[in-house]
Structure 1
Amino acid sequence: MRIDKYLKVSRILKRRTVSKELALHQRIEVNGKSVKPSYDVKPGDCITITFGQRQMTVKVLETSNFSKKADAPMMYEVLEEKWLEENCCE
């Protein structure tokens, strides 16, 4: 399954277009490497998403083309979630 679709189906991100834009701007990494929206996600992959000042790392547990809202959190495991500090010049 494409990474942009996976992020939408798993409800990590709200819209597929948002995940596609993040990938195009190199804000999505899989196993430490920046990926394109067409990257094929597999169970066991570690995905790091940077959006705004937030960074989230999840491990893919399963991929399915459709999921109910209640079942979506079972598709991944959150490994880390952190807020990035702003760079300020004084």
Structure 2
Amino acid sequence: MRLDKFLKVSRVIKRRTLANEVCDQGHVSVNGRVAKAGLEIKPGDILEVRFGHRMLKLEVVDVRDNVPAKLAAELYKVLEETT
């Protein structure tokens, strides 16, 4: 699954267009490398998403196309969150 779609489906970022912009601006890295929106994500990948001064580090647990909002948090495990 594409990185921007995963961020949207997992509800880390609310809209896919915003997820795409965040990726293109270099605020998302996968396994320690800055990633573009089209990068394929798989379980076990480590994502770091920066929102201004806030940083969220996640491990991808599962990749699914459609997930109910209540189950979205099950797609990833939060490893670190700084504000």
TM-score by length of 2: 0.97
Runs of 4+ in structure 1 deviating by more than 2 angstroms, as ranges, are: none
Structure 1: any 5+ residue segments left out of the alignment?
84-90
- Count how many residue pairs are aligned between Structure 1 and Structure 2: 83
Structure 2: any 5+ residue segments left out of the alignment?
none
SS of the residue corresponding to residue 49 of structure 1 reads: strand
CA RMSD of aligned residues (A): 0.5
Q: CA–CA distance in 2 between the matches of 1:63 and 1:75?
A: 6
**Corresponding position of 2:76:** 76
Q: CA–CA distance in 2 between the matches of 1:81 and 1:19?
A: 18
More helix by share: 2
* Identity percentage of aligned residues: 39
Q: CA–CA distance in 1 between the matches of 2:14 and 2:80?
A: 19
**Corresponding position of 2:2:** 2
Q: Name the larger-Rg structure.
A: 1
